[in-house]
Structure 1
Amino acid sequence: MSDCRVVRARSLVSMAGESPARGEALFAPLHKLDDAALVLVDGRVEEVVSWKRCSPPAGAEVRDLGEVCLAPAVINAHCHVQLSHLAGRTRWQAGFSAWLASLIPLLREPLSAEAVAGACADMVACGTGHAGDFAGEGLALVDAAARRAGLGMTHFCEWFGMAAPFIDAVRPWPPRCRAALERDDDRPVAEVFAPLEARCAPAGHALYSTAPEVLRDARQWCAEKGRPFALHLAESPEETELLLEGSGPLADLYRGIVLPEGWRPPRLRPLAFASKLGLLGQGTLAVHGVQLDAREMRALAASGAALCLCPRSNRHLGVGEAPLAAAVESGVLCCLGTDGLSSNTDLDVRQEAVALRESCDASPEALLRLLTVNAAQALRLSRAGRLEPGQPGCFSVLPEALRF
């Protein structure tokens, strides 16, 4: 017997038929259905109709959510779930390097299964259907918690380190991710990795913390397999100074620890260095982009790469404002992420949109596109970002600031 549920709301924006949008197309009107009914059969969308035209079958569960506006489940394109136990324990508003210096000692602590499970459950509770998570030793832990919570997850398996003794047989997968799988199962790595690998993609941490040859290998693998490739890019002034001059507080913090003896800066700004390494293009998701100037933003857009903005994290760390206006003007594909609880108050990606609404007066239509169809495109998700017949029936409730 099929399980049928009907959800009624004051209004609903299904995003049906909507394509990812850039530039001025972000602000185009969206269709909103008033007094709407979302009919779900076995967890999938059967139809989206007005309540007057809805005829629920006998035995259907009917749930009236009242004066709310529904939208497809939102997508958090960038987060660090495994660091959820560090909430409220790092230094904010003193610059990136000061935050990082406060974070590094805490990374020696064991991960918290309880904190990870709570973070995944919280994301689902606020209407998040999928997340792009940077993974390391906690890959298996995060994946299990996400599946239990019903949260879709793309795991960006993060390479970290500049030293070269990476075993070729292990690449493109970071040893930390493979080691985590080995610890969680007695079977050979190949047997346990195969099912999870479909949800994973090798990724780089950043240009200043990941060996160039590893970044190139990961990017090439992702391009060949049709997976998204992600890295943090142009997040802080300290990053730019390190890559250009080899100096500054980030260089002081990493020298001899992450930066090997004899390391020399490329003497290029972040975008130019990423371009030189062949890291940009279709399928690349650059995260942050706070330090990109207008010319660089246009170059990023021309490459076909996408940009994930994390405005609240940027503000908390004091690295600058998320460059939404420049991104819109350039025509780059934009989406939103929360970063992690070590640099944000929660993992509710809707609040990133609210922050941009308040600081930039960005339109709700544009922000909803960033939260849904644009993020789905950036993560290469085919069944997300829209409430259409046959699609999963996951939905979110739009905050008041995002209603139109």
Structure 2
Amino acid sequence: MTKATVIRARGMVTLAGEGPARGEQLFAPLRRLDDAALVLVNGRVEEATGWKRCSPPPGAEVRDLGEVCLAPGVINAHCHLQLSHLAGRTRWGGGFSVWLESLIPLLREPLSAGAVAGACEDMAARGTAHVGDVAGEGLALTDAAARRAGLGITHFCEWFGMDAPFIDGGRPWPPRCREALERSSVPVTDVSVPLEARCAPAGHALYSTAPEVLREARQWCLEQGRVFALHLAESAEETSLLLEGGGPLFEVYDGIVLPDDWRHPGLRPLALAMKLGLVGEGTLAVHGVQLDPQEMAVLAASGAALCLCPRSNAHLAVGDAPFSSAVENGVLCCLGTDGLTSNTDLDVRQEAVFLRERCDAPPEALLRMLTVNAAAALRLPRAGRLERGAPGAFCLLPESLCF
């Protein structure tokens, strides 16, 4: 049975035909349709055009949204959905290690299916079409919640610890995710692929995941065409730990995550990641706050993508998300919210609003980061555009992102 819907709005930015953009390409004009119509048939875009030119199928439902501007459903490239039950309970404003110390005791609490479901439903209601989520023991729970909410999801199965072996029976999955993956053989209704095909092994960070595990996870992702993700250069404490072997982050992790025989590598985060072979096409580095302009140029030349989480960085007082430096050096940039332990909500549009207000970033650049750039970073070939045959997910643009 065919289900057709026509969405009418004051304006629409489709990004039809657009690919990922870097540097000055981010600022190129985008076409806006006025008095627009989005025709959806069975959840796919049939037509995106002006109201007077649209040709809806007979019997199509018409929804007039009024004085709003539509855009493709946005993509939250980095999130921690499994920590949603800890919202509002961590300490902000004192730096990364202060926040981490407040978080660690809370991690003993059981996950909350209700909190994850609520977070997914809220994201979908605000126009998020897809999320890149850091996965742990709640992988199956999170996947089910996202599917019920109509969210696409990519799971980054995160290795954490300096003593965990990478390979066990030929499978690359961390123990926290392995059981859920072995149990799952149910395909996803809309894309007909098993859970494992939407997962990738990932590293937490250079200071918390064994180097050999990071190397093997990255190599597996290269061989399988998956995205490899890790937190990189998020705080000055991380840089100090790797360069000098001390500081607040060392005090938090010493004897708990860092073994007694651990020795600091004496390298800045990007240099160490490059040495381990972690950076290149298919890498999604998250945060990048401490990357200097020279390092940003190296990251750009490697082909890696960078996910900025500006509100999380501000809340934790780790520094400003390096929007200007990343753009000037031609890095492929996208946006993420991080999680509710470091942010007030998971609406990735608000990351763009924050950069618009804080950095005077132009709406065209921000909209590309929310859509086609994030789709490229997560390797989602049909996402991020409203064009014939694409998924029919759309969002309402905040006023400050309209043009």
Q: TM-score range by the shorter chain?
A: over 0.9
Counterparts of 1:317 and 1:280, CA distance in 2? 26
- Indicate the residue corresponding to 2:124 in structure 1: 124
1:354-397 Cα shifts (integer Å, max 9, x gaps)? 00000100000000000000000000111100001011110000
CA shift in 2, pair 1:53/1:116, >3 Å: same
- Indicate the residue corresponding to 1:301 in structure 2: 300
Counterparts of 1:164 and 1:142, CA distance in 2? 24
Q: CA RMSD in A?
A: 1.4
1:78-112 Cα shifts (integer Å, max 9, x gaps)? 00000000000000000000000000000000000
Q: Percent identity?
A: 78
Quick check: 2:4–2:40 contact (8 Å CA) kept in 1? yes
Counterparts of 2:167 and 2:200, CA distance in 1? 18
- Indicate the residue corresponding to 1:5 in structure 2: 5
Quick check: 2:29–2:364 contact (8 Å CA) kept in 1? yes
3-state DSSP of counterpart to 1:198: helix
Q: Which amino acid aligns with 2:22?
A: R
Counterparts of 1:68 and 1:186, CA distance in 2? 41
Quick check: 2:184–2:194 contact (8 Å CA) kept in 1? no
1:318-354 Cα shifts (integer Å, max 9, x gaps)? 0000000000111010000000000000000000000
Quick check: 2:139–2:180 contact (8 Å CA) kept in 1? yes
Structure 1 residue 59: Cα displacement: 1.7
Taking the TM superposition and a 5 Å limit, the aligned residue runs for 1:322-401 are 322-401=321-400
Structure 1 residue 163: Cα displacement: 1.4
Instruction: Work out the number of aligned pairs and report it.
Output: 397
Quick check: 1:172–1:214 contact (8 Å CA) kept in 2? no
1:109-139 Cα shifts (integer Å, max 9, x gaps)? 0000000000110110000000000000111
- Indicate the residue corresponding to 2:189 in structure 1: none
CA shift in 2, pair 1:65/1:206, >3 Å: same
Compute the TM-score of the two structures, normalised by the length of structure 1: 0.96
Counterparts of 2:249 and 2:195, CA distance in 1? 34
Taking the TM superposition and a 5 Å limit, the aligned residue runs for 1:246-325 are 246-325=245-324
Structure 1 residue 54: Cα displacement: 2.3
Q: Which amino acid aligns with 1:113?
A: A
3-state DSSP of counterpart to 2:194: helix
CA shift in 2, pair 1:315/1:180, >3 Å: same
- Indicate the residue corresponding to 1:142 in structure 2: 142
- Indicate the residue corresponding to 1:243 in structure 2: 242
Compute the TM-score of the two structures, normalised by the length of structure 2: 0.96
3-state DSSP of counterpart to 1:319: coil
Quick check: 2:165–2:213 contact (8 Å CA) kept in 1? no
1:164-198 Cα shifts (integer Å, max 9, x gaps)? 5555426521011013446x6799xxxxxx82111
Structure 1 unmatched ranges of 5 or more: 188-193
Structure 1 residue 58: Cα displacement: 3.1
- Indicate the residue corresponding to 1:154 in structure 2: 154
- Indicate the residue corresponding to 2:18 in structure 1: 18
Structure 2 unmatched ranges of 5 or more: 187-192
Quick check: 2:78–2:134 contact (8 Å CA) kept in 1? yes
